[in-house]
Amino acid sequence: MVQKKTPLRKCVGCQEMKPKKELIRVVHSPDNQVFLDPTGKKSGRGSYICKTEACFQMAKKKKSLDRSLKINVSDEIYEQLERELSLVKSDE
Contact between 19 and 7 under an 8 Å Cβ cutoff? The reply is yes
Residue 19: CATH number of its domain: 3.30.1230.10
Q: Is residue 1 part of a domain?
A: no
Average pLDDT on 1-7 reads 86
Q: Which helix (H) or strand (E) holds 91?
A: helix 75-91
Task: Show the domain range for 51.
Answer: 9-91
Reported as a pLDDT band with limits 50, 70 and 90, residue 1 is confident
Q: Is the pTM of this model over 0.85?
A: yes
